[in-house]
Amino acid sequence: MADKSTSNAYWAANVRVILISLAIWFVCSFGLGIILRPALSGIHIGGADLGFWFAQNGSIYVFLVLIFAYAAKMNKLDKEYGVEE
């Protein structure tokens, strides 16, 4: 088992990545898809307004990229801190 200070540093780095990811998660769904939709109704993606597209399709794509990016970043952190399986 890794020593205590390494584990703590690893966990702090993990929490930082999680917080950044959750901010993106929130902005693309609740932000662009719901709260900011009226303000951004002038911007269009094809035949839909930006908010509608994010609410029905766009946010799902962002979720996908987000999970794989998190998995890749964590695999890197695992190695960096020597805590990989």
Partner 1 sequence: MDQFTLNLIVVGMTFALYIGIAIWARAGSTAEFYAAGRGVHPVMNGMATGADWMSAASFISMAGIIALSPAGGYQQSAFLMGWTGGYVLLALLLAPYLRKFGKFTVPEFIGDRFYSGTARLVAVVCLIVISVTYVIGQMRGVGVTFSRFLEVSTDNGLYIGAAIVFAYAVLGGMKGITYTQVAQYVVLIIAYTIPAIFISLQLTGSFLPQLGLIGSYAPQGGEVAMLEKLDQVVTELGFTAYTADTSNMFNMVLFTMSLMIGTAGLPHVIIRFFTVPKVSDARSSAGWALVFIALLYTVAPAVGSMARLNLTTTFWPNAVTGNALDGDAIALADIDSKPELAWINTWKATKLLEFSDLNGDGKIQYFNEPKAVTAANKALADASKALADSTEADKSALEAKVAEAKAAVDAALAEATLGGKSLAERGLVGNEVTKIDNDIMVLANPEIAKLPGWVIALVAAGGLAAALSTAAGLLLAISSAISHDLIKGSLNPQISEKGELLAARISMGVAIAVATWLGLNPPGFAAQVVALAFGLAAATIFPALMMGIFSTRINKEGAISGMLAGLAFTSVYIFLYLGWFFIPGTNVYENTAANYFFGISPLSIGTVGALVNFVVAYVVTGMTKAPPQEVVELVESIRIPKGAGAAQAH
Q: Which residues contact 71 (CB under 8 A, 6 or more apart)?
A: none
Q: Binding marks (x or -) toward partner 1, 19..38, rule CB under 8 A?
A: --xx--x---xx--xxx-xx
- The residue among 42 and 48 lying less far from partner 1, judged by its C-beta, is 48
Q: 41: which 2 tokens?
A: 């109704």
Question: What is the three-class DSSP state of 49?
Answer: strand
Number of DSSP helices (H) and strands (E) in the chain, helices first: 3, 2
| Residues of the shown chain interacting with partner 1 in the complex, contacts defined by CB under 8 A | 1-2, 7, 10-11, 14-15, 18, 21-22, 25, 29-30, 33-35, 37-38, 45-49, 52-53, 55-57, 59-61, 63-64, 66-68, 70-71, 74-75, 78, 82-85
